[in-house]
Structure 1
Amino acid sequence: MPSGKNASPWKKIQDRDAEREVKREAVLRTAAQLFNEKGFHATSLDEVAERLNVSKPTLYYYVKNKDEILFECVRIGLEKVQRSASEAGASNGAAIDKLIAAMRAYAEIVTMDFGMCLIRVGEDPLPAESRKKLRALKAKIDNEFRSMIKQGIAEGSIVKCDPKVTAFLLAGALSWIGRWYQEEGGLTPIEIADQAVSLILDGLRERGSSARRVRERASAVRTAA
């Protein structure tokens, strides 16, 4: 703060705005954590205020109501996924590598507060107009994934498949991580993301001599039966 007789005890407008944004994000993040733990309808603004050590009226300086909080939490989660998919799609290299980068980021994001809120709560509790806006963001993510899949099919790095169905399946599998992930579960988000991508792309089937032995054992079991 400047010194001297003209020094002002009030912060500059830019500093006040930056401080407000930091506090607003803290309100949103804390609410997202509670939504993830208890559910949207079971969480009250009193609980959000209590966890932040502020009064309930203080919250209204940063948000209008609980619906706005959920809208913002889901929006942030969607924008994180959309941004990571867009960056992956715009990168250099084969489409399969772009898709892997996008999938990996998606899997990590849904283990974080806003991404988890996107999956565990989503837009369903919100009014129709809010749901419409959020679903438009979902459509952008879907288009990013479809575009990478189509590019991969064209260049030969991805097998021929229906891009729409494939994009839906990938998003569904990756989203479900946000349902069961627990921070104390033993695996980091990055480790989970790597395993998820590997399993989705490579499958569970053994290859080579190991695969032949599995088929032979299965055949022997059926014959014995």
Structure 2
Amino acid sequence: MVQQERAVRTRQALLRAAAETFDQEGFTPSGLTGISDRAGVSKGALHFHFTNKAGLAKAVEKEAGTTLRAITDQALTGAPPALQRLVDATHALAALLREDVVVRAGFRLCCERIRPPAEGPYAQWERFVARMLERADAEGALTHAVSAREAGQAIVAATTGFELLGRYDRRWLSAPSLTAFWSLLLPRLTTEPVRDRPHSGEIAEPAQAAAPAVAARS
């Protein structure tokens, strides 16, 4: 039992060290020696858990996807309105990207591949946004001026753009940046009252107050 617990701790230390290294340096420049040194374990211990650097990267992406799924599943299983839950989820994602190095590294690793994996964080997020907008459309929340597909393309492009820009300037991942984006987009999307910040403790960042509802225009 003690040996098994030690193995779990070692694997988690390696995942964390790999995520920090990939986040700072990217996949190609990162080396296994640097990752094992950062984790405080031998290269032999690293190879016991992971065959190579690609295996480490895949594990980081999987861990990031699991964390992201906790946000998206909460939104998907929540009560209407779907559009409000989508807005809240974008703020929760931005908080993760600011604070969780494994999630940041998972997104970066996907971006650095020629063909991002079908089950990676980017693909997960794109599918989630599409499903939430389909629900919002079914609820009658979207205006006739836009389709769920067009809205999804715009939101995915913008939020993944925030992730990319946020690697170099964290202000892109701040609440005000997302609030400005939603303040511009929401009046185009809906005539329903939707807040541009998380509220009611649903899918929200800790200790963040809700902002006044956006005055939607048709």
TM-score, normalising length: structure 2: 0.70
- 1:33: Cα distance to partner? 0.9
- In structure 1, what is the equivalent of residue 27 of structure 2? 40
Amino acid aligned to 1:19: R
Amino acid aligned to 2:90: M
Amino acid aligned to 1:143: R
Deviations 1:172-204 (A, max 9, x none): 32223333436995x696xx1x32432222129
More moved, 44-53 vs 100-109: 100-109
- 1:171: Cα distance to partner? 2.5
Counterpart CA distance in 1 for 2:65 and 2:154 is: 17
- Closer/same/farther in 2, CA of residues 171 and 20 from structure 1, 3 Å limit: farther
Counterpart CA distance in 2 for 1:145 and 1:184 is: 24
SS, match of residue 176 in structure 1: helix
Number of residue-to-residue matches in the alignment: 184
- 1:88: Cα distance to partner? 0.8
Matches within 5 A, 1:56-95: 56-95=43-82
- Closer/same/farther in 2, CA of residues 172 and 82 from structure 1, 3 Å limit: farther
SS, match of residue 93 in structure 1: coil
Matches within 5 A, 1:7-18: 12=1, 15-18=2-5
- Closer/same/farther in 2, CA of residues 97 and 61 from structure 1, 3 Å limit: same
- Closer/same/farther in 2, CA of residues 93 and 110 from structure 1, 3 Å limit: same
Q: Is the 8 A contact 2:82 2:133 kept in 1?
A: yes
Q: Is the 8 A contact 1:34 1:43 kept in 2?
A: yes
Deviations 1:80-105 (A, max 9, x none): 22331121121123112211222122
- In structure 1, what is the equivalent of residue 202 of structure 2? none
- Structure with bigger helix share is 1
Counterpart CA distance in 2 for 1:25 and 1:46 is: 17
TM-score, normalising length: structure 1: 0.68
